[in-house]
Structure formats: structure tokens, C-alpha cells
């Protein structure tokens, strides 16, 4: 959070201090389907029951972690997978890259070995990205790796054959409507290469997209996930949706993502940015990158201290993680990316019990880390090892046993109840410098007792009252749809409450200038003004503030973000 010191109301809150927790990459990009009632699951298979869907999803739910591979002609200019569109390269020019594509060092087994060393259980390869170039042999279009490059090998085939040898589930990404390399493919408006890209859209969908999906489902064995992509276009007919659905039935075990408009995906996708609130849908996946790029750019891998907590946070919310690497034109995964993945794999060797097969942890937010769960064991992933050696766990349950996953003999850690917290005494030194895991077995269904003071409290807003209740309902899908740059909302807490932490969850974008006021004994006091909050810095800590209502105002923001949730926490 960036608040100029002059903005603090020093008189009202002496010695105010701020701390922010940059929970890596936070903020949500809702992409897809809403969750459905248990009896009618969201599924690409019409009429499927919840039991059948859960059975179909079972391997994916346990797998938790996959490798995303963005590989196509774009690795040659090394400018990312949107190079053709960003630089407005014509097809005539761009397609010449195929002649330069000869990845002699490609070795499908080496990639699968890396996936296993990294602790990954599935792999999703871009069989055709928006550039339109197929990385597999295709009768539907000769613009493919076998027919158009000197390499002449079908890498999708090689990967699909190597994956099961290594116990990895093979999955295929396919850019369906978006295609810049075939006439009629969706290429943004206006087309930058009209002589080539204009064309019959319906013919493209049938003769290229649907035909290639049929090829993928016919020639590469069983596919785990068909990971469709789009660039936002919704230009598809009902008849085409029906045909794709029929084609998908060639492999009824398929799991399908929600990016072909009209085809209901099986899971929600979150791209790069961590949802701030746990997605309500039963199945969701966060896709992210090792180095900030999808296709190869030469960018360096992110540090482990950034990547690992980011991934664990998603697992703590019950998600899967699909981590991307961008191989080079020589056919290798950059060594620093590979090394980072192996480090994560090392962490999973010790702590994977807390990840694979786990479900979301019981907490909405924890100051020191996150948690997952497996039946009666709550796994506490501690990112900030307590300096006093005492871990406070806000569970209402009776503790049974606590131990460190890094401890092979599972020596019991001493614990006691202290008010509302289970208090676990830890060794002085964290077993892992980034994230150490404490397993805690408890009696009964874990019950979180660290609840936002604003949860389900009444909200009044100066604008867009209809949607204002989304601010306190702990649901990412409901949000205050404010568009007014000077609007404010007031949360009535019902009685005086004392809080020390704000957790602000904008739906998109940043807050540029917010004003926070608190009502105490009928008088409003300003607590913070000119609050600037980046979407990935959503925690603000304050000295204790007491009041029976809080008011948050935007101060002439040109584009105020919608607010998913506004939480207030007492001292921990």
C-alpha cells in the first residue's frame, strides 16, 4: 500500500503504522461459469449427474499440479506468443518462421522427467495457439509442424506417448475461435492482414477448428484435459456448439475448460492473478508462469520465495495449479525455469502430503500463511515463521496432535488452547526458509473462528445499492458494481467492534484514492485518506480502531474498481 505520510491523520491515530502483505499475485480475473447447485453440475456433458462428474474429475482433483507448455513458432522471435498480433506481422511474413523452426534438442522424455521431478501430475501443451500453427500433424491444415518445418516431427505425438511412460497425464491446449493463421479465424478487429485473415468464419470453425479437435481426439490416445482457449470472441453458432460437443464425446472421460463459448467447462480458470476470495465452484485451476511470460522471451525465472507461496495459496483455496514454461526454439525448457521447478518439486517431496489429494483449508485469511486439509488433518503452511516460536491457529476444535511434515519421526509438537486459538510451540528455526508445514489433527469438522467483523453485515451505498451487499458476503462472484468515482459505502457493524486489519478485495484494478472513516459514539473520524492500493497488495494493518460503522469512499477516481469484499479483522 502506498500512502504518503502527509495523508495520515496523525492526530486521530497517533503512531499509526502500516504493514502490507503482498500475497504474491492477488486479485481475481473471473473467467467463466458460475457454480451450479450440487444436483446439476456445470459440465460439458449434457445431463451428467454430480456423482458422474465427480468421478470424471477425480484424477484431476488429486493431481493438483500440472505443467503448462507454451510452444509454437513464436519461440523463434522470442517475443511471446502474441508477437504476430502485437507487431501486426502479416501471415506471409510470419509463416516464414516455420522454416527456421528446427528444435533439434527436443526430447519429450526429458520434459516429462522434469515434470515428475517438479512434482507435476499432468502436462498441457499448446497444440495450436492463436498464431494458428499446429504443433501436430494435421490433415485439416498444412500449417503444421510436420508439413511446414524442417523438423518434420509431431511433438504432440511424442509428448502424448512419453507422458504415460512417466506417470503423467497428457492434456492438450487448443485455441479454438482465435486463429490468426487461417482465413476466417478470429483475429481481432480490424484484421491487420485483411487480404489473408478475412474469410468465412463458419468455414474456419468447421474445417479447421472442429476438424483439428477431431484429429487431436483421434490420434493421440486418451487426453486428460482439453484446455480450450479464446481471445474473447463469442462468434459461434448453436450448431457449431452442438457439433463440438458431439466431437468431444469421442472421449467421454475428457475434462474440458470453459473457453469455448457455449460449451460449459468443467472447471473455472483463474489466470495469473490469485483470487482474493476462495472460488465457490467445486473445481478451479490457477494458471501462472514461472517467469512472467507464456511463450519464450528469455525472461528470468521468478524467485522461489515468490512462486512457492503463490502456488500454495491457490492450493489452500482448493485450486489446482498449472505452471507454465516456454521452451526455446532449440527445444529445451530454459535451465533456470527447470531449476525453479525442481526446487518446487523438492519442497513437494517433503510437504506433498499437504497438497496432493487435499481440499481447501478452513480459513478465509490467515496472517502467517495458509492451510489445506485432508479429512481430520489441517495442514498449516507457514510463510512467516513466528519469531516467538508460537503459532496461533484460529480453530474452535480440540487439537489431537501436531507435527512438522519435515520431521521424519513426526515428533509431537507441544500445544495448548489459549482463548480462541490453538497455540502450537514450534522449534526456533523454520525447517524450510520459504514455507514450512505443520500438520494438525483435530477432533471434528474444522471450524474457523477468525471471521471478518463485517461478514454479512448490512451495507448502504451512495450508488448501485442493488449490488452493495456483495461487499460483505465473502463471495467473489457478487460484487458492488459501482462506476461512480465519488461513491461511498457504509457497513453497519451493529455494535462497537475493534479491528486492526483491513482486507480489501477489488474485483479488478487498483484503488487510487480511498478514504476510510469510522463511526464511534455517533461521530465520524477519518482513519486513512488518499489510500492507494494495488490489486496485489490488499492487506492494510492499523493500530486498533473501534467503531460501530465504517465508511469507505472513492475520491474522484476516474475508473473506480468494483469491490468484491471488504473485510475487517480483530487483532490476531
The contact set with ligand GLC (CB under 6 A) reads 81-82, 229, 271, 287, 294
Task: Give the nearest distance from C-beta 529 to ligand GLC in angstroms.
Answer: 36
**Residue 180 vs 294, nearer CB to ligand GLC:** 294
Task: Give the nearest distance from C-beta 32 to ligand GLC in angstroms.
Answer: 12
Task: Give the nearest distance from C-beta 463 to ligand GLC in angstroms.
Answer: 32
Task: Give the nearest distance from C-beta 75 to ligand GLC in angstroms.
Answer: 13
**Residue 287 vs 459, nearer CB to ligand GLC:** 287
> Residues 130, 131, 137, 141: is their CA dihedral positive or negative?
positive
The total number of residues shown for the chain amounts to 572
- Give the distance, in angstroms, between the CA of residue 550 and the centroid of all CA atoms in the same chain: 31
Task: Give the nearest distance from C-beta 272 to ligand GLC in angstroms.
Answer: 8
Cβ-based neighbours of 232, under 8 Å, separated by 6 or more? none
**Residue 188 vs 427, nearer CB to ligand GLC:** 188
H-assigned helices in 249-377: 304-316, 335-351
* Nine cell digits for residue 335: 535451465
Q: Output 417-420 pairs: Cβ under 8 A, ≥24 positions apart.
A: 418/392, 420/394, 420/396, 420/449, 420/450
The answer to whether the beta carbons of residues 377 and 441 sit under 8 Å apart is yes
Q: Provide the terminal-to-terminal Cα distance of the chain, rounded to the nearest Å.
A: 21
**Residue 171 vs 511, nearer CB to ligand GLC:** 171
**Residue 294 vs 480, nearer CB to ligand GLC:** 294
* Nine cell digits for residue 287: 494458471
**Residue 287 vs 301, nearer CB to ligand GLC:** 287
- Give the distance, in angstroms, between the CA of residue 548 and the centroid of all CA atoms in the same chain: 35
**Residue 128 vs 157, nearer CB to ligand GLC:** 128
Q: Give the integer Cα–Cα distance in Å for 113 and 105.
A: 15
Task: Give the nearest distance from C-beta 401 to ligand GLC in angstroms.
Answer: 41
* Nine cell digits for residue 269: 480458470
The answer to whether the beta carbons of residues 261 and 31 sit under 8 Å apart is no
Task: Give the nearest distance from C-beta 369 to ligand GLC in angstroms.
Answer: 27
Task: Give the nearest distance from C-beta 212 to ligand GLC in angstroms.
Answer: 17
The total of other beta-carbon atoms located within 10 Å of residue 290's CB is: 26
SS3 sequence, 482-515?
CCCCCCEEEEEEEEEEEEEEEEEEECCCCEEEEE
**Residue 215 vs 285, nearer CB to ligand GLC:** 285
Task: Give the nearest distance from C-beta 287 to ligand GLC in angstroms.
Answer: 5
**Residue 225 vs 287, nearer CB to ligand GLC:** 287
Task: Give the nearest distance from C-beta 127 to ligand GLC in angstroms.
Answer: 12
The answer to whether the beta carbons of residues 258 and 32 sit under 8 Å apart is yes
DSSP string for residues in 3-20: --GGGS-TTTSTT-----
Cβ-based neighbours of 424, under 8 Å, separated by 6 or more? 390, 391, 393, 399, 402, 413, 414, 415, 438, 440
**Residue 225 vs 426, nearer CB to ligand GLC:** 225
Alpha carbons within 13 A on the beta-carbon side of 402: 22
Amino acid at each position: 500500500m502506498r500512502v504518503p505520510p502527509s495523508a495520515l491523520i496523525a492526530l486521530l491515530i497517533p503512531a499509526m503504522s502500516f504493514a502490507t502483505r503482498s500475497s504474491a499475485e492477488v486479485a481475481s480475473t473471473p473467467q467463466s461459469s458460475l457454480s451450479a447447485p450440487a444436483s446439476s453440475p456445470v459440465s460439458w456433458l449434457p445431463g451428467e449427474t454430480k456423482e458422474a462428474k465427480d468421478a470424471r474429475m477425480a484424477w484431476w482433483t488429486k493431481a493438483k499440479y500440472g505443467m503448462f507448455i507454451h510452444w509454437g513458432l513464436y519461440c523463434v522471435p522470442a517475443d511471446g506468443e502474441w508477437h504476430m498480433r502485437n507487431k501486426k506481422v502479416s501471415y506471409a511474413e510470419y509463416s516464414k518462421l516455420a522454416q527456421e523452426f528446427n528444435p533439434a534438442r527436443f526430447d519429450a522424455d526429458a520434459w516429462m522427467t522434469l515434470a515428475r521431478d517438479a512434482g507435476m501430475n499432468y502436462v498441457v501443451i499448446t497444440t495450436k495457439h492463436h498464431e494458428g500453427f499446429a504443433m501436430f500433424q494435421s490433415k485439416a491444415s498444412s500449417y503444421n509442424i510436420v508439413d511446414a518445418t524442417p523438423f518434420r516431427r509431431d511433438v504432440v505425438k511424442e509428448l502424448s506417448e512419453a507422458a504415460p511412460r512417466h506417470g503423467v497425464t497428457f492434456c492438450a491446449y487448443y485455441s479454438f475461435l482465435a486463429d490468426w493463421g487461417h482465413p476466417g479465424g478470429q483475429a481481432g478487429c480490424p484484421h491487420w492482414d485483411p487480404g489473408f485473415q478475412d474469410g468465412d468464419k463458419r468455414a474456419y470453425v468447421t474445417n479447421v477448428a472442429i476438424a483439428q479437435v477431431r484429429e487431436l481426439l483421434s490420434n493421440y490416445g486418451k487426453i486428460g484435459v482439453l484446455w480450450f482457449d479464446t481471445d474473447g470472441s463469442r462468434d459461434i453458432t448453436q450448431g457449431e456448439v452442438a457439433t463440438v460437443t458431439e466431437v468431444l464425446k469421442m472421449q467421454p472421460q475428457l475434462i474440458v475448460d470453459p473457453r469455448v463459448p457455449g460449451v460449459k467447462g468443467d472447471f473455472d480458470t483463474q489466470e495469473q492473478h490469485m483470487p482474493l476470495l476462495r472460488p465457490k465452484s467445486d473445481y478451479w485451476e490457477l494458471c501462472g508462469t514461472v517467469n512472467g511470460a507464456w511463450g519464450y522471451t528469455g525472461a528470468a525465472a521468478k524467485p522461489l520465495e515468490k512462486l512457492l507461496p503463490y502456488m500454495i495459496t491457490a492450493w489452500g483455496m482448493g485450486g489446482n495449479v498449472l505452471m507454465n514454461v516456454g521452451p526455446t526454439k532449440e527445444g529445451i525448457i530454459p535451465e533456470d525455469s527447470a531449476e525453479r521447478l525442481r526446487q518446487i518439486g523438492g519442497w513437494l517431496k517433503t510437504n506433498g502430503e499437504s497438497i496432493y489429494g487435499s481440499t481447501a483449508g478452513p480459513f478465509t485469511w490467515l496472517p502467517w500463511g495458509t492451510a489445506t486439509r485432508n479429512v481430520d488433518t489441517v495442514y498449516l503452511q507457514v510463510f512467516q515463521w513466528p519469531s516467538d516460536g508460537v503459532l496461533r491457529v484460529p480453530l474452535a476444535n480440540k487439537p489431537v496432535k501436531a507435527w512438522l511434515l519435515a520431521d521424519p519421526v513426526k515428533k509431537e509438537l507441544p500445544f495448548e488452547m489459549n482463548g480462541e486459538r490453538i497455540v502450537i510451540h514450534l522449534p526456533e528455526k523454520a525447517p524450510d526458509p520459504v514455507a514450512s508445514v505443520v500438520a494438525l489433527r483435530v477432533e471434528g469438522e474444522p471450524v474457523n473462528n477468525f471471521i471478518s467483523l463485517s461478514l454479512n453485515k448490512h451495507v448502504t451505498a451512495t450508488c448501485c445499492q442493488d449490488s452493495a451487499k456483495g461487499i460483505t458476503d465473502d463471495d467473489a462472484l457478487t460484487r458492488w458494481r459501482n462506476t461512480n468515482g465519488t461513491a461511498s459505502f457504509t457497513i453497519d457493524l451493529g455494535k462497537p467492534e475493534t479491528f486492526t486489519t483491513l482486507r480489501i478485495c477489488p474485483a479488478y484494478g487498483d484503488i487510487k484514492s480511498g478514504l476510510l472513516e469510522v463511526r464511534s459514539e455517533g461521530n465520524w473520524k477519518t482513519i486513512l485518506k488518499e489510500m492507494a492500493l494495488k490489486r496485489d497488495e490488499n492487506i492494510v494493518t492499523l493500530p486498533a480502531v473501534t467503531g460501530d460503522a465504517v465508511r469507505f469512499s472513492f475520491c474522484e477516481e476516474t475508473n473506480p474498481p468494483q469491490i468484491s469484499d471488504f473485510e475487517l479483522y480483530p487483532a490476531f
